[in-house]
Amino acid sequence: MKVIGLLSVLMVFSTTVECAKILGVFHLAGKSHYMACSTLMKILAEKGHDVTVVAPLKEKNPPKNYRQIYLDGLSKKLEDFMIKMNMFEFEPSPYVRPFFFHFMSTEFIEDVFNHTTFKEFMKTGEKFDAVIVEEFQAEAIKYVAHHFNAPLIVYSAQDANDWTNAFQGNPDTPSYHPNFFLNDLQNHMSFLQRVENSFFYLYGKIMTHLINFPAHNRLVHKYFPNAPDLADIAYNVSLVLLNSDPSVHEPIPKVPSMKDIGGFHIRKPKPLPQDLQTILDNAKHGVVYFSLGSNVKSKDMPKETRDFILRKFSKLKETIIWKFEDPDLPGKPDNVIIRSWLPQNDIFAHKNVKLFISHGGLFSTMEAVYHGLPVMAISVFAEQKLNGKRAESNGFARHIAFKELTEDNFGEILDDLLKDSKYRENAKMRSQIMRDKPMEPADAVNYWVEYVIRHKGAPHLRVAALDLEWYQYLLVDVVLFILTVILVAVFSIRFLLKVVLKKKPTSEKKKN
Ligand SMILES: *[C@@H]1O[C@H](CO)[C@@H](O)[C@H](O)[C@H]1NC(C)=O
């Protein structure tokens, strides 16, 4: 009996994926996007898989099983572009944003397809068990999975939205879920806001089908003439890993092939460098941590804003640790410590940290929530405003757009967040929500990737909505049919009544 028991245990284990070959192709050269993607791949490498990462950025000290295929030159191009744009000034209208993302996405993918290193890699004929790409209105990049004949897994830095919904047959819910380009809206909307939101969903669909998707289809066929129609590839996604979590996002429906893995990037805190450890230990009035993330540079902030921020800081008893990219900051008071790089997550784990002044980026917000820290969200661009407003309505943050920041409101918000304990309590509550799950997000990443490999692309998760035409999915044909039946019935009854009523007088005459 014992032997049989042992054998069956062994058999169960033999169906797990021991060491899969997993390819990640990440076309976005932005640092925050890359960092999340490389973390995802590192998780898989740590679980013992053989990982290959094709990307425009690279790790200095890659872990074991982590091979890098570095596309040089592409991140420099993005950096120059960001400097030219000046992120503090740049905020296109929501109606322009889809075009902006369209051009960004096609340009970045073309740069990858055209890169000599990438071309050589595509010719190797290697075998992979799964291919992971990042969704960023980036359908063309999905071709790589087809090329290597492996199941396609999509990672998205956001919650489910138009970029992922359409390809999974996931319902769009414009009545209560704001389109992520409309970052003034929240999930409870007035009538006019719902009109605007619905219109924007439609606008997005039209943009995608008339402009974006055809352009990506052309792009694939330009570099890979033998590729099938892009629709056959783009709608063939086995799994979507979403950087979302109920502690920071509103609940929305998700089909079974979409999984929340929000918080996967938060690793166990490491010991701090000695100098930082001392600063944090000695800050007896607490620490305010200030960082605008990796894309927005504090050093490029207008001087006037910087000056009033420093004036306010000089009046606080707290120690301020500021991620500031220049070696010196003129007029810096003694309680302000600057560093060009800081181990944010490790700092957050220190008990003396009281508040996080942030740009409202999703990864940063999640780290703050994980550690139960209140947030002052100064949104600069993209979906930061949406994140900031969400955090505010979840009660652990106050939001202000960078453009609206003044000496007065900066001081008022900062004092409020430091003095009112409700922000801290709400942050702690959100932290408990984030930590309450059946499986660590990093384990979930590994579990679902292995699941897809085990079940050969897991076609059983695919919803039948993907096989319907849009008018069938929206029941337009059924509604038209029912209306027709009702109309035919109404007209037939009317016609019959007319006939009967016309006959009536004659029959009455006869009676008389
Ligand atoms: C769709 O995905 C399945 C499972 O990964 C794969 O076998 C099939 O070849 C894919 N189809 C195309 C057109 O890439």
Gap between the Cα atoms of 210 and 217, Å rounded:
12
Backbone angles phi, psi at 337, to 5 degrees: -110, 130
Q: What ligand 1 atom has the least distance to the C-alpha of 236?
A: 1
* pTM of the shown model: 0.91
Nearest CA to ligand 1 atom 9: 149
Q: What ligand 1 atom has the least distance to the C-alpha of 146?
A: 14
Domains 19-172+231-264+439-467 and 274-435 alike in fold: yes
Question: What sign results for the dihedral spanned by CA atoms 267, 360, 55, 461?
Answer: positive
> For residue 395, what are the contacts with CB-CB under 8 A and spacing of at least 6?
422, 423, 426
Give the number of other Cβ atoms within 10 Å of residue 359's Cβ: 24
Percent of the chain with pLDDT over 70: 94
The interaxial angle of helices 97-113 and 213-223, nearest 10 deg, is 10
Task: Name the 3-class secondary structure at 338.
Answer: strand
The mean predicted confidence, pLDDT, of the chain is: 92
More confident residue, 446 or 85: 446
Is it the case that residue 447 has pLDDT exceeding 90?
yes
| pLDDT tens, residue by residue, 269-306 | 999 999 999 999 999 999 999 999 887 888 889 999 99
- Around 196, how many Cα atoms within 13 Å sit in the side-chain half-sphere? 16
Residue 5: per-residue pLDDT: 52
Gap between the Cα atoms of 88 and 299, Å rounded:
11
Residue 81: per-residue pLDDT: 75
Residue 92: per-residue pLDDT: 77
Residue closest to 429 by CA, chosen among 477, 472, 397, 464: 397
Residue 359: per-residue pLDDT: 94
Categorize the per-residue pLDDT at 6 as very low, low, confident or very high, splitting at 50, 70 and 90.
low
- List all residues whose CB is within 6 A of at least one atom of ligand 1: 146, 151, 228, 232-233, 236, 238, 457
Categorize the per-residue pLDDT at 323 as very low, low, confident or very high, splitting at 50, 70 and 90.
very high
Categorize the per-residue pLDDT at 37 as very low, low, confident or very high, splitting at 50, 70 and 90.
very high
Residue 95: per-residue pLDDT: 86
Q: Can you read off the two tokens belonging to residue 435?
A: 């930590």
| pLDDT tens, residue by residue, 372-404 | 999 999 998 778 888 999 999 999 999 999 999
Q: What ligand 1 atom has the least distance to the C-alpha of 459?
A: 4
Distances in whole angstroms, Cα of residue 71 to Cα of each of 52, 156, 180, 239, 455 = 13, 21, 30, 26, 32
Nearest CA to ligand 1 atom 4: 457
Give distance in angstroms: CA of 222 to centre of ligand 1. Answer: 21
Mean pLDDT, rounded, for 166-187: 91
Residue 350: per-residue pLDDT: 97
Give distance in angstroms: CA of 456 to centre of ligand 1. Answer: 9
Residue 418: per-residue pLDDT: 97
Q: Where are the domains of the chain?
A: 19-172+231-264+439-467, 274-435, 473-507
CB 422 within 8 A of CB 415: no
| pLDDT tens, residue by residue, 433-444 | 999 999 999 999
Is it the case that residue 1 has pLDDT exceeding 50?
no
Residue 351: per-residue pLDDT: 96
Residue closest to 236 by CA, chosen among 168, 336, 317: 168
- Which of 23, 146, 154, 224 has most ligand 1 atoms within 8 Å of its beta carbon, as the pocket-test mutant? 146
Gap between the Cα atoms of 96 and 98, Å rounded:
6
Categorize the per-residue pLDDT at 203 as very low, low, confident or very high, splitting at 50, 70 and 90.
very high
- Which of 147, 168, 229, 236 has most ligand 1 atoms within 8 Å of its beta carbon, as the pocket-test mutant? 236
Is it the case that residue 14 has pLDDT exceeding 60?
no
Give distance in angstroms: CA of 475 to centre of ligand 1. Answer: 28
With respect to CATH, is domain 19-172+231-264+439-467 assigned 3.90.1150.10? no
Q: Which amino acid is at 58?
A: K
Is it the case that residue 140 has pLDDT exceeding 60?
yes
| pLDDT tens, residue by residue, 364-380 | 999 999 999 999 999 98
CB 368 within 8 A of CB 356: yes
Q: In the beta sheet, which residues pair with residue 310? A: none
Give distance in angstroms: CA of 236 to centre of ligand 1. Answer: 6
Is it the case that residue 312 has pLDDT exceeding 80?
yes
Give distance in angstroms: CA of 146 to centre of ligand 1. Answer: 7
> For residue 359, what are the contacts with CB-CB under 8 A and spacing of at least 6?
291, 292, 293, 296, 377, 378, 379, 380, 384, 402
| pLDDT tens, residue by residue, 53-110 | 999 999 999 999 999 999 999 988 887 777 777 666 667 788 888 888 899 899 999 9
Residue 4: per-residue pLDDT: 52
Give distance in angstroms: CA of 108 to centre of ligand 1. Answer: 25
Give distance in angstroms: CA of 151 to centre of ligand 1. Answer: 6
- Chain mean position to CA 394: 19
The domain defined by 274-435 folds into: Rossmann fold (3.40.50)
Gap between the Cα atoms of 294 and 83, Å rounded:
13
